[in-house]
Amino acid sequence: MHPALHLDNLKRLPPAIRSAATAFISAAPNPDRAFESIRVVREYAATPKPENKRALVVPALYIILDPLKIPDLDSLPTKSVSDAPPSDFELSITKAIFALEALYQLRLPDSLGVDLWPRILAWVQFLHLYNPGKLGAADRHPSLFTDSILFACQFLGHTPTFQLMISTPWFWFMLGRAWVYATKIQDPENRVHAFNIISCFTRIENVTETCNMDELLNGVGGTLSSLARLVVEFLDALILDHDKSDSVLPENLYISFVGGVIVFLGHVDPNLRATTLERTSLGRLGQELLAQPVFGVLFRLLSSLTKTDARGTLAALQHLLMLICVLLYSKPGWAQLPAAVKSGFIPALLLCARSTFAPHLAGHLQTCFQIILPPALISHALLSTLDTRWHEIETSAKGITFQIPDFWTEFSSLVNERLQVLHTFDSVYTAMRACDNLECSTLDVKKKFRRCSSCQSFYYCSSECQRADWTRGGHRNACCSYGTLLLGERNNDDCSSRQRSFLRALIHHDYQKQRIHIHSRQAMFLSEFPHGTFLTLYNYMEGAVRISVKEAPQSFEALAGPEWKDILSRAAASGGRMGIDVAIFTANGPTQSRYLVIPLRSDSGVITDKLASLASTLTPSTYQARQSQAMYLVKTISHIHETNDLHVAEIH
């Protein structure tokens, strides 16, 4: 036993306090005297006397908190008469509550922790399980767990006590309950102490041992969802308010707490501590975080950290940016990118680029502006959100010297181009259709067509055309195969109706912008493979479209099956009025691709005939020699477009 716990220490107390302490630990038959002695001892422990004087009452508190005095819950009476004197049960419980309150007022030698902590833990566990309403006794102290954790803070530097704490599973339950209440502590100094001890304990790896994690989860609410919600609340509480500086809230401490949360998240969900974006999946905690308003909190926290130069800020910024990237790079996170942009993702990145830490954050910023954001700029929802903020964002970007200038220049240029497409789409765009009876192929506005009710992919200008395609065009055999490759109603899980329409408009825009280049490539393909079938690939995987002309295979990667074979067959039978245009873009994360066939249709096959004729005049040779004919191709194809009034439209 520690010398400070010997009863002889009570003799050094002032007489009145010594008498009260002696009565406190005795089985006094007079309840009034017992409660009075409790009051005196508790007040003495709280008075501003020298610490070593007040600590002389600890032996009495130690005796009162003897675990052997904890009542058996099963033997407790269910009810007591309100005007009856307190029972022995009630008296021992009340004494323990006040002993804990008195103890928590004291600053003690850390070596005392080994003796005191088991008793504190045992009584706190009992008081948590005990329902005082059954006995009419005083209600539990509302800050039972936070006070216990705050008291434990003074023993963090004492290894035996620290190891004793973390080796007891129920301690983690108590820590979880304290964590729940910590953000609600009003006193700034106590608040930072509570944050400190939570940060210290959640950093250690054995928090994830099954028994410890189970207790921690029970403490925070019982589920990973509760834990995720608490993490977001805690991070929100760590956002620095630079307009309200307070000396008891040192910035470097709060920054270390941010680091503690990041470490904890990595312990529970190892994918969240990734240092590269090779992993695109999240564990259960990562997924639960995305169910919370995590991005708004992370972006505000990121922004606040750019305004301080306290020790540890750079590491905190790097860890936060990496966490944001990992979350957004995952399948569920990618779906939330429009919401993330709405929550201030880009302004937060620009603050990082403007900060003194920018040279050390260039890689993270490049990841955001070149890898994460550009592939998503085919999303109507994201662009619509960005449109309302883009002028302000561009204005704030002026004057920033980017460490890697190209990534912002390329990104802003791409945004401006896509916003132009969006404005056209939302204002003057008229969706066109083509009759899927290839004997007709009439082009007109969408509302004049009727859709096949079975495949929901083919459109006809009349009932006669629908019957003709069913009986002579082969749709009878192919109808049931559609719904995966050809962009249509059955792709609704991946694309909303508005998003599908926007994709068609985007393909048409990029075709019109680069049609000379496209037709040049098609002519060069036909010069090498006169009887070949080509597809035009619009690749949006990296953001800006890359258009190429390739051989249309019978089966290739995602382009396979009966639906693909029927598309090839219909294109061949169209007389040059139906192209095989394929878009590849990101789906469910930047690394996952999705192919969709979005054919462009013409009311005439003249362009195909002209290209075939032009291709026959080219000299098959080396690739370099064929490239030298590029200027000739451009001039010739430009003349074809000028002398032929061709109507080319996107459909489906």
Tens-digit pLDDT profile for residues 612-624: 888 888 775 655 6
Sign of CA dihedral 180, 186, 192, 193: negative
pLDDT recorded at residue 310: 87
pLDDT recorded at residue 423: 94
Task: Tell the residue number behind the tokens 């007709």, with chain if given.
Answer: 440
* Local structure of residue 556 (DSSP, 8 states): B
Answer whether residue 191 is part of any domain.
no
As a whole number of angstroms, the distance between CA 96 and CA 116 comes to 13
Tens-digit pLDDT profile for residues 49-81: 676 688 888 999 999 999 998 888 777 665 554
Residues 423 and 497 occupy one common structural domain: no
pLDDT recorded at residue 172: 94
Residues 250 and 353 occupy one common structural domain: yes
Mean pLDDT of the chain, nearest integer? 85
pLDDT recorded at residue 141: 52
Mode of pairing for the β-strands spanning 648-650 and 600-602: antiparallel
Looking up residue 327, the CATH number of its domain turns out to be 1.25.10
Residue 324's H or E segment, with its range, is helix 313-329
Mode of pairing for the β-strands spanning 534-539 and 581-586: parallel
Quickly state the pLDDT bin for 137 (edges 50, 70, 90). very low
The three state secondary structure string of 66-130 is CHHHCCCHHHCCCCCCCCCCCCHHHHHHHHHHHHHHHHCCCCCCHHHHHHHHHHHHHHHHHHHHC
Domain final residue pick, 385, 402, 428? 428
Tens-digit pLDDT profile for residues 491-529: 666 678 889 889 999 999 999 899 888 988 898 898 888
As a whole number of angstroms, the distance between CA 618 and CA 521 comes to 12
Answer whether residue 548 is part of any domain.
yes
pTM of the complete model: 0.86
Percent of the chain with pLDDT over 70: 88
Residue 410 has pLDDT above 70, yes or no: yes
Answer whether residue 468 is part of any domain.
no
As a whole number of angstroms, the distance between CA 15 and CA 569 comes to 105
SS3 73: helix
**Residue 139: count of CB within 10 angstroms of its CB:** 9
Task: Give Cα separations from 229 to 69, 172, 208, 611 (angstroms).
Answer: 38, 18, 18, 61
Domain final residue pick, 407, 428, 449? 428
- Residues 123-135 have a mean pLDDT of 72
Tens-digit pLDDT profile for residues 190-199: 888 888 888 8
Residues 280 and 374 occupy one common structural domain: yes
Name which of 615, 550, 608, 614 is nearest 578 in CA terms: 608
Quickly state the pLDDT bin for 240 (edges 50, 70, 90). confident
144 vs 582: which has the higher pLDDT: 582
Answer whether residue 341 is part of any domain.
yes
- Residues 584-600 have a mean pLDDT of 86
Residues 509 and 603 occupy one common structural domain: yes
For residue 546, what are the domain limits?
A: 493-650
- How many structural domains does the chain have? 2
Contact between 513 and 383 under an 8 Å Cβ cutoff? The reply is no
As a whole number of angstroms, the distance between CA 427 and CA 425 comes to 6
Mention every residue, 6+ apart, whose C-beta is less than 8 A from residue 530.
612, 615, 616
* Local structure of residue 4 (DSSP, 8 states): G
Domain final residue pick, 387, 410, 428? 428
Residue 651 has pLDDT above 50, yes or no: no
Tens-digit pLDDT profile for residues 15-60: 888 888 888 887 655 666 777 887 888 888 888 767 668 888 899 9
Residues 506 and 372 occupy one common structural domain: no
> What's the residue count for the chain?
652
Name which of 34, 175, 48, 65 is nearest 106 in CA terms: 48
Type of residue numbered 79: K
Q: Which two tokens stand for residue 383?
A: 């662009």
Contact between 404 and 362 under an 8 Å Cβ cutoff? The reply is yes
Answer whether residue 121 is part of any domain.
no
229 vs 24: which has the higher pLDDT: 229
